[in-house]
A and B are shown apart, each in its own frame.
Chain A
């Protein structure tokens, strides 16, 4: 205790002498103030321009949407026939300028009610696709509005189609079940003056087995159902890819790969393992025949023009071949090795490309890994978003290799 010492010997209390602020401090403050002002101005300006663009787009949308039937057209028709009605060369007939649209209102209504399955020639172009029937999903009033809208916008005909016209056509269609058998039947039944149409050949599409439908909706005891991730019609959602319209051998190969571990997926491995091989074959066949409209929309902020360039032409500077050079024109696939990529869910496409790039890093020299390794993140998003804007592969047009 003796060495305790009372601290009374403080000699100093702090104070602040009057010295000037060093000049560099002022320079830094001024430089930062200028930077801050510019940053805020640039941000506000970008926000202002974006706001004006949003306003313009919203106004245009409002104008279009204000027309009766416009909402239905967008929801039901535009994913295939395109919002401007131009169709897809080689895949979906155009509405704009189509003689079918310009003809008597009953033609449009009856096509809407029955759908088309078979080859058709429109304005000199040949198509061989599948249009669904809307008889069960839309009522008379809705069909009347769509027909009115389509005829007014693409057929230059302002006369309205009334629900009673649709009701009459529906009564007629009850006596003519199934889709129109191509342009041939339409020409014979409704429009004798239509240009010559190709002959109809009976379709190979078979009605699905009820046990397969149960599998799709409810799954096996040991796994999820197909529909819980891929949607009721195989349209896909987010990371779960669109599988409708993919070729049967491709789908079967993937299911077997998931089950065997050759392709890894925490979600698909237990499902594929729980399926018997016969079920795999049946499911692959079922989904290959589904003509589901695209549910994919760009969602990754990818640059669509860059995506289009990569898909059509590739990027020779980076050694990236065009997607379509293998996956077929319009990305509709070349069975059995190259699956359709058009209308695929963008999150799936980007994730799959990243997965291929990972395989390349792990030493794989296979085709897709070596291509994907040259794509950076922005390119992956650009391709994925661009492909999502494309219409899906029309079923029934796949090359003969698939038909077995």
Chain B
């Protein structure tokens, strides 16, 4: 008992001490670097211009005329040329998996209120379709889009061309092979049987190799960087590259963890995939593109520090709140609950840093659809994190556990936050990568409104329905079937929302395909020689 109590104290107190030290260091200016260093990468009169390549002179919304290229533009061109090919391959794969993954999600959603539909083939049964959806959107769409965006942004903030881009292409190929093999295995009924870890561990090696091959070029680029100060996006990206391999490999080692231990490791991994992989990928992107598009900096370096380090200190143990009431030691669960609630600290820091700059420049929010995507995504990060901290409390978890409420919450994070941010980033990046305008610009707004409308229906339906479901399940005077029956209209609403979202993804994919089909602009390809 003393040992366990001691462990609780040490684990939490170390985090608190680190947080206190961080706050002291920030307030007493220990992280001092000159403002000139921070601003080294732009010229004095460059601030305050909307930068949105989806607005072209063709539709008459251009906010700036032709400007002579500066030496910074030439440097950017050579950096962008080095990343163009690997990033294109990553994004192309990601968009393909987004479309397929959404289709499986829609099928799974429909099956919940049309249970007799598509029930003759084993691989089309709910258990597999739902798992295929999760695997495809997490490891296909979100991971590859996130890596692609990181690979495009990181060389820019390091002001150095991407090193060994061919490795990254091989990494993408390995990752895709691993994903396809894993998806086929799951469809055939072969899986590790743990949520988020369904891909058989025998296949996971391919994903690990692919991820490593993508990480090496970025780490090498970090070593050759031409700036002294690393911008906050770089912290998140480099940290995610360290965290994810550790999580993925440890959780997949076969035969070490059994029973309740295995469940503990399972949820430690599953939640950390969100917090220590998708979250840094999404936040890194938001931190770069929000100020980039608006042309104004984020609020404060001190808040960047607080947000990043508090995430690093508190996130790693929050996953066990999924096992509240489960057969694991109470102190493990309580520690996880406390750490989950402590996540308010980094989330508030990030929220102030990102939302203030948008709130002060609402003209840009109205003018730029990429910014709308990214900024809405950042707002939903704040919302999903607050909701997650509250859901970890035992009193709330009693109602929401084992209900559709949790599903709504998961989509607020993985879709509302990361997918929205990534959509906006890709709308910004692809014109830069190909040197061409979006071929079907009217579809961009249609995509935006379809996914905003669809996701609103989706989230509201599951949140209300899930809560009512939880209340019904807790009420012993109502039969279990009551909790199922009351849910049906909400599940149908979810399918409507999901269909709108999937339709939006198809428009997005059509735009991306049309763009890639035209190839890179000759003038842009020329830049790679320079």
Contact = CB atoms under 8 A, between A and B. Distances in A.
A10 B51 contact: yes
A contact face: mostly helix, strand, loop, or mixed: helix
Interface string B259-300: 000000000000000000000000000011011100101111
A358 interface: yes
B310 to A, nearest CB: 8
A8 B19 contact: no
Contact of B331 (A14, A19, A44): A44
A21 interface: yes
Interface stretch (B35-43, B127-135, B238-246): B35-43
Point out which of B76, B157, B476 has the most chain A C-beta atoms below 10 A from its C-beta: B476
B361 to A, nearest CB: 12
A357 B304 CA distance: 55
Nearest to B35: A18
A19 B41 contact: no
B300 A17 contact: yes
B349 A21 contact: yes
Given A29-B19, A36-B12, A36-B338, A11 B476 contact: no
A27 B79 CA distance: 43
Interface string A17-28: 111111001101
Given A20-B302, A21-B26, A9 B46 contact: no
Nearest to B290: A14
B334 A39 contact: yes
Contacts of A357: 476-477
Interface in A371-395: 377, 380
A222 to B, nearest CB: 25
A39 B19 contact: no
A177 interface: no
A51 B1 contact: yes
B302 A48 contact: no
Interface in B406-464: 431-432, 435-437
B47 A350 contact: no
Given A6-B524, A25-B303, A14 B292 contact: yes
B285 to A, nearest CB: 11
B116 interface: no
Interface stretch (B105-113, B340-348, B487-495): B340-348
A17 B292 CA distance: 14
Interface string B223-240: 000000001110000000
A358 B8 CA distance: 44
B139 interface: no
A44 B478 CA distance: 36
Interface in B149-176: 156-157
A209 interface: no
B479 A12 contact: no
A40 to B, nearest CB: 6
Nearest to A360: B477
Nearest to B80: A7
A47 B431 CA distance: 59
Given A3-B57, A14-B291, A16-B232, A47 B302 contact: no
B31 to A, nearest CB: 9
Given A5-B437, A37-B16, A47-B5, A16 B337 contact: no
Interface residues of B, number: 82
Point out which of B1, B19, B337 has the most chain A C-beta atoms below 10 A from its C-beta: B1
B66 interface: yes
A33 B19 contact: yes
Contacts of B77: 8
B335 interface: yes
Given A11-B295, A51-B1, A29 B35 contact: no
B8 A16 contact: no
Interface in A41-92: 43-44, 47-48, 51
A12 B42 contact: yes
Contacts of A29: 19, 23, 310, 345
B180 to A, nearest CB: 34
B220 interface: no
A26 B19 contact: no
Interface in B339-395: 339, 341-342, 344-345, 348-349, 352
Contacts of A19: 299-303
A377 B471 CA distance: 13
Given A21-B306, A22-B352, 4 more contacts: A14-B290, A16-B231, A17-B35, A19-B299
Going nearest first, the 5 A-B pairs with the smallest beta carbon separation are A19-B300, A14-B291, A16-B301, A357-B477, A354-B476
30 contacts: A3-B58, A3-B437, A5-B437, A6-B524, A10-B73, A11-B51, A12-B42, A12-B292, A13-B41, A14-B233, A15-B297, A17-B298, A18-B35, A18-B301, A19-B302, A20-B27, A25-B349, A29-B19, A32-B344, A33-B19, A37-B16, A39-B337, A40-B334, A40-B335, A43-B8, A43-B331, A44-B5, A44-B331, A354-B477, A358-B478
Interface of B: 1, 4-5, 8-9, 12, 16, 19, 23, 26-27, 35, 38-39, 41-42, 46-49, 51, 53, 56-58, 64, 66-67, 69, 72-73, 76-77, 156-157, 231-233, 287-288, 290-292, 295, 297-304, 306, 310, 330-331, 334-335, 337-339, 341-342, 344-345, 348-349, 352, 431-432, 435-437, 474-479, 521, 523-524
